[in-house]
Structure 1
Amino acid sequence: MSNTFHHVDVNHPLLPEKAREFQMFINGKWTKGHSSENFVRKSPAHDIVVSTYPAGTAEDVDDAVKAAREAFDSGKWSRISGGARATVMLKTAQLIRENLAELALLETLETGKPLTQSRGEIQGAADIWEYAAGLARSVNGDSFNNLGDNMLGLVTREPIGVVGVITPWNFPFFIGAERYPYILAAGCTLVAKAAEITSGTTLLLAGILKEAGLPDGVFNVVTGSGSVVGQRITEHSDIDMVSFTGSTAVGQMALQASAKNIKRLGLELGGKNPQVVFADADMDAALDGTLFGFLFNTGQCCVSGSRLLVERSIHAEFCRKLVERAKKVQSGDPLNESTQIGAIITEKHYQTVLGYIEQGKKEGAQLLTGGSAVKTDKGLFIEPTIFDDVTPVMTVFREEIFGPVLCVTPFDSYEEAIRIANDTCYGLAASVWTSNLDKAVQGFRDLKAGRLWVNTTIAGGPELPSGGFKQSGIGRESGSYGLDEYTEIKSVHIQLGKRAKWLAE
C-alpha cells in the first residue's frame, strides 16, 4: 500500500443502527408520491445501508412543477420584497449552522468523503446562503434618461420563473448551495433533483427552508433516477430554465431534451484541468497544491487538477518529491478525524477508475506510485496514483477519470505549456504556479478555462462566478453573475407627453 490507510471501523459510534427513511418534498409536504419502489443507498466506505428514498416518477415531477408554478404565479415569493426574501435566506444559513453535525454526518455516510471535509462544505454552504441573501436586496436594472424629452427608458430584471435543478453526487449540499440561494434570491421557484444516491442532505435542506419560513411550493425535491426524473425535468414544458451539473455526455442529452420548449439551460460539465508548474515556482507550495488539487474529494471533483504540466528542468525532482508526499496522505475510514481522502462513490465508478489506471499502464505511461485498489474488507478505496510521461494522445490525458489519478507531462517552454494545457475539449479550471508576475498574468490570460488559480488551487468564495469554456458548460453560477442567470431582462419605453401621430386626421 502506497499511503497511510485507516481501516474501516464498522462499530464506529457515529454509524446509524438502521437506515434513515426519506420521503420526497412537494408543495411543503413530505410524500412518497406515485413511487412504489425505494432506492437503497449504502455507505461506500462501510458497506451498510444508510438511507432509502422513493424512486420518483414522471408524475411526481409533474406534481412538483405544478406546485412550483402555482407558487410562482401567486407572487407569494416572486413578488415580495428582496428584504423579505433575504430574511428567510439568512434564517436558512443560521439553521444550516445549527444542524451542522447532522448534515455533515449524512453527507459523509452517503458520499464516503471525510467527515472533516463534509463539515467544511456545510459551513461554506451557509456562507453562500448569507451572501446570496444580500443579493436578494440588490437585484437592479438600469435607466436611460437620454432618449429625449418625450421618452424614458427602463431596464428591469424579473425572475425567470420555475427552475429545474439537477445536481451530482460528489458535492450534494455544496453544489446545491451554489445554485438554490441565487435562484431564490432572484424570486424564482424550483424543483430540485439531487443525485439518486446522495439525496439525503438536499431533503434535510427542504425541511430547514420550511422552518426558515419559505412558502410552500417554492422549493420542491423529487428523488429518483436521471433517466426518469432528470429526463422529465429537462423536457418539461412548464419549466422555464434548467441548471444541470454533471458529465458532458449527460449535458448533451439535457440540451436535446430542453429543446421541447426552448428553455434556458445552465450547464456545469466535465473538466480535465491542468496545473502548470514553472521552474521558478515556490516548489513546496506547488507540491502541496498539486497533491491537494488531484486528491481533494478522492479526485471526484469537476475542477480536480488531474493533469500536471511541469517544466522539464525541475520535472524529475518535482515528481520524486510529489511521490514522497503522496505516500503520506491519510486515506480510509471517512469517520476517522485524520482521514484526508475517503471512498469511491459506487462499485461501478470504482471499476471505471481502475479501468482507466489499467489503460494508462497499457498505453505506456510510467506508473510512479499507486495504481491499485486498496485491499480492505470494507469499502471502495483506490490508492493515490501518479503517472509520468503522459502524452496528449493517451486516453488518460484526454478523458476525465474522476478519481485519485494524476497524469504528469513535462514541457520545455511557456508556449508549449499553454499549448498542452489547452489541448482538450474541456475548459473548466486551471492553476498556474510561478513567482513571475508577468508569467502569471500572461498564463491566466492564455489558458482557456472559466476558473483560474494562481499559486493556489480549488480556492475561493461565493463572490466569484464558476463555469466553463468549451465543452465544460454554459453560463455561470455564484456571485452576482449567478443571480443574473436566473433573471429575464425587460426593456420598458415610457412615452412622456403626447405621442406624435402616425396617421394624420
Structure 2
Amino acid sequence: MQEIAHGVRLPDSPREFGFFIDGAWQHKGEGYVRHSPSHDIPVTRTIRCTRDDLNEAVAAARRAFDDRRWSGLPGGERATILLRAAEGIRRRLDEIALWEVLENGKPLSQAKGELNHCIACFETAAGAARLLHGDSFNNLGDDLFGMALREPVGVVGLITPWNFPFLILCERAPFILASGCTLVVKPAEVTSATTLILADILSESGLPAGAFNVITGSGSDIGQALSEHPDVDMLSFTGSTAVGRSCVQASAASNLKKLGLELGGKNPIIVFADADLDDAADGAAFGISFNTGQCCVSSSRLIVERSVADKFEAILAKKMKKIRVGDPFDPETQVGAITTNAQNKVILDYIAKGKAEGAKIVVGGEALQFGRGRYIAPTLFSGVTSSMAIAREEIFGPVLSSFRFDTPAEAVSIANDTIYGLSASVWSKNIDTALMITRRVRAGRFWVNTIMAGGPETPTGGFKQSGWGRETGMLGVEEYTQVKSVHIGIGKRSHWIAS
C-alpha cells in the first residue's frame, strides 16, 4: 500500500484477478489494468478472455443445467445456498465496497449502502425460490386436468454495466439462480472485480460448479459474442438503448433467445405548487446527483409548476451548491468521481452544448479540480426547451434540465415527450393529483413524494425504449422461466376410431 486516503490504504500495485469457469479459477490470457477514476493509480488487473474462453463457460453452464445439478434441486435447497451467499457478502462487505470504490469512483458510504441492498436481494431471491410455482386448472371437465408448469429457461447470459457493478449484478443473479437457471456473467471491463469476488462467495456457499461462470473482457468483443451465442437461452443486458438494439439483432440472428433489457432513461420529476418544496428540492438534488448522475433512473428532467418555478429553482440551486463532491473515501463526500474518461467527456460536451443552445446554467456546469481524478459539479439548467439535446438525450451525468408547466395535462405531455419510460417522480400533497399523474405518465418505476426508494420485493423495469421484462421481486424470478401447459386425461378415453 502506497498512501492513505482518509484512513484507507491505496494499493501500491494492481490486484490480480483471473476468470471463473466450471467452479475453477483460470489466469491465462492478456491482462487489462484498471486505473482508479478518483486517484489515477492502477488498482486491478483482469483478463481479456477469448471467444474460446466464452465457449468453455457456456458449455460449463449448459452441462450444469442439463444434468440438473442446480435446476433439479428443490427450491428450499437453492434458497439455503442463496442465504449462505447473503451471509458471505455480509462478511466481506468492507472488501467488496473497497474494490467497488477503487474501480468505480463512487463514495465509500454509498457503496456500503448499496451492499446492504445486495444482501437483501439474495435474501428476497431465497424466499422466491421457495415460492415459485405454476398453476392448476380443475375446470376442464371430469375427464381432464390441466397444469401450467414454470420451468427455468436454461443458460442465461448476463451483461452488467460499470455504473452499479455489484448492485445490478445482485438485482439479477440471485433471482436467475432462484429460478433454476445457470449463468455466464460478463461484467463491464472497467469494473469486473466485485463480480469475480461474488463468484468466490457463491462457490464457498455451495453453488454447484458451472452454475455461475464469469468471463471478462470488452463489450464489443466478448459481450457481443455472448449475445450471439447459439447455446445461450436468454440474455439479460443492462446498458444503453443503442447497445440494447444490438442485443435484439444478435438474438434474432442467432437462436431467437429470450431477452431481458434495462436500457436508457430520461426521467421526469414533476413538482406541483402544493408540494413541500423543500422536500421536493432535496429529492431533485439527490435524484440527479446520486452516483454522479451515472444512473439509469436519474431524474434528469425537472418539470415544475410555473407559479412556483422561480422559487423552486432558487431552493434547488442552494441545495445543489452544498453537495459535497470529492474523494470517495472521505466520509463527508456525497458525489464521487466520474467513472471513465469517455463518460467525463460526454458529460462536459453536453454541458457545453446546453449553453450553446441557449439554456441558462443556474448552478454548476464545470469540472472540479482536486489534483487527481475526474469530477463534475452537479449542474442545473433553466430555460430548457424540448428541442435541445440536453432535454432529449440521456447524458448519464449530474445534469438536470428544468421545464415549466401550467396545467396537469401539460406536465403529463412534457413527461411523456421522450422515447424512454424507465422511471418518474411526482411531488404533490394532493392525492388525486399524484394518482392521476402516476397513472398517465408512462414509466416502469414511479415515486410519489420520494425518489429512488423501494427494495428488491417489488419489480423493476421500463416502458417504451427503456427495456423489456422485469427484474427483482417474484416477477424477477418468473422472468427467467418458461411456462409449459400440461393436460392429464382421466379415466377411459372416448375413442376416435370405432372398434
Once the two structures are superposed, what CA deviation does each residue of 1:96-141 show, in whole Å capped at 9, x if it has no partner? 0010000001101100000000000111100110011001011111
User: What residue is the counterpart of 2:341 in the other structure?
Assistant: 347
Shift of 1:375: 2.3
User: What residue is the counterpart of 2:46 in the other structure?
Assistant: 53
The answer to whether the 8 Å contact 2:337/2:375 transfers is: yes
In the alignment, the residues of structure 1 paired with residue 369 and residue 286 of structure 2 have an alpha-carbon distance, to the nearest angstrom, of 23
1:247-326 correspondence to structure 2 within 5 Å: 247-259=240-252, 260-326=254-320
In the alignment, the residues of structure 2 paired with residue 235 and residue 496 of structure 1 have an alpha-carbon distance, to the nearest angstrom, of 44
Shift of 1:14: 2.6
The answer to whether the 8 Å contact 2:285/2:320 transfers is: yes
Query: What letter is aligned with 2:126?
Result: A
SS of structure 2 residue aligned to 1:400: coil
Query: Which of 15, 28, 33 is 1:20 aligned to?
Result: 15
In the alignment, the residues of structure 1 paired with residue 400 and residue 229 of structure 2 have an alpha-carbon distance, to the nearest angstrom, of 40
In the alignment, the residues of structure 1 paired with residue 181 and residue 341 of structure 2 have an alpha-carbon distance, to the nearest angstrom, of 37
The answer to whether the 8 Å contact 1:9/1:333 transfers is: no
The answer to whether the 8 Å contact 2:4/2:10 transfers is: no
SS of structure 2 residue aligned to 1:408: strand
User: What residue is the counterpart of 2:222 in the other structure?
Assistant: 229
Shift of 1:376: 2.9
Query: Which of 393, 398, 402 is 1:408 aligned to?
Result: 402
In the alignment, the residues of structure 1 paired with residue 214 and residue 4 of structure 2 have an alpha-carbon distance, to the nearest angstrom, of 33
The answer to whether the 8 Å contact 1:426/1:472 transfers is: yes
Shift of 1:12: 5.5
Asked whether 1:32 is paired with 2:35, we answer no
In the alignment, the residues of structure 2 paired with residue 249 and residue 365 of structure 1 have an alpha-carbon distance, to the nearest angstrom, of 26
Asked whether 1:484 is paired with 2:478, we answer yes
Query: Which of 184, 187, 204 is 1:211 aligned to?
Result: 204
- Comparing 296-305 with 17-26, greater Cα deviation is found at 17-26
Shift of 1:400: 0.3
The answer to whether the 8 Å contact 2:278/2:315 transfers is: no
The answer to whether the 8 Å contact 2:35/2:41 transfers is: yes
Once the two structures are superposed, what CA deviation does each residue of 1:423-449 show, in whole Å capped at 9, x if it has no partner? 000000000000000000001000000
SS of structure 2 residue aligned to 1:63: helix
TM-score, normalised on structure 1? 0.97
User: What residue is the counterpart of 1:200 in the other structure?
Assistant: 193
RMSD of the alignment, in Å? Answer: 1.1
Shift of 1:339: 0.2
User: What residue is the counterpart of 1:102 in the other structure?
Assistant: 95
The answer to whether the 8 Å contact 2:14/2:42 transfers is: yes
In the alignment, the residues of structure 2 paired with residue 448 and residue 459 of structure 1 have an alpha-carbon distance, to the nearest angstrom, of 18
Shift of 1:64: 0.3
The answer to whether the 8 Å contact 1:363/1:394 transfers is: yes
Query: Which of 56, 63, 80 is 1:63 aligned to?
Result: 56
Shift of 1:404: 0.8
Shift of 1:9: 7.0
In the alignment, the residues of structure 2 paired with residue 105 and residue 199 of structure 1 have an alpha-carbon distance, to the nearest angstrom, of 13
Query: Which of 460, 464, 472 is 2:454 aligned to?
Result: 460
The answer to whether the 8 Å contact 1:354/1:372 transfers is: yes
Inter-CA distance 19–12: structure 2 relative to 1 (3 Å threshold): farther
Query: What letter is aligned with 1:302?
Result: C
1:326-337 correspondence to structure 2 within 5 Å: 326-337=320-331
User: What residue is the counterpart of 2:357 in the other structure?
Assistant: 363
In the alignment, the residues of structure 2 paired with residue 76 and residue 10 of structure 1 have an alpha-carbon distance, to the nearest angstrom, of 46
SS of structure 1 residue aligned to 2:73: coil
Query: What letter is aligned with 1:426?
Result: Y
Shift of 1:160: 0.6
Shift of 1:189: 0.3
In the alignment, the residues of structure 2 paired with residue 228 and residue 504 of structure 1 have an alpha-carbon distance, to the nearest angstrom, of 62
Once the two structures are superposed, what CA deviation does each residue of 1:360-396 show, in whole Å capped at 9, x if it has no partner? 0000001111111112320000111110011110000
In the alignment, the residues of structure 2 paired with residue 429 and residue 135 of structure 1 have an alpha-carbon distance, to the nearest angstrom, of 25
The answer to whether the 8 Å contact 2:326/2:370 transfers is: no
Once the two structures are superposed, what CA deviation does each residue of 1:404-463 show, in whole Å capped at 9, x if it has no partner? 111001111111110001000000000000000000000100000000000001111011
SS of structure 1 residue aligned to 2:404: strand
SS of structure 2 residue aligned to 1:334: coil
In the alignment, the residues of structure 2 paired with residue 57 and residue 458 of structure 1 have an alpha-carbon distance, to the nearest angstrom, of 38
SS of structure 2 residue aligned to 1:40: strand
Query: What letter is aligned with 1:92?
Result: A
Shift of 1:32: 2.6
In the alignment, the residues of structure 2 paired with residue 428 and residue 56 of structure 1 have an alpha-carbon distance, to the nearest angstrom, of 32
Query: Which of 379, 382, 395 is 2:376 aligned to?
Result: 382
How many residue pairs get matched? 496
Query: What letter is aligned with 1:182?
Result: F
In the alignment, the residues of structure 2 paired with residue 228 and residue 351 of structure 1 have an alpha-carbon distance, to the nearest angstrom, of 23
The answer to whether the 8 Å contact 1:10/1:46 transfers is: no
1:413-424 correspondence to structure 2 within 5 Å: 413-424=407-418
User: What residue is the counterpart of 1:131 in the other structure?
Assistant: 124
Gaps of 5+ in 1: 1-7
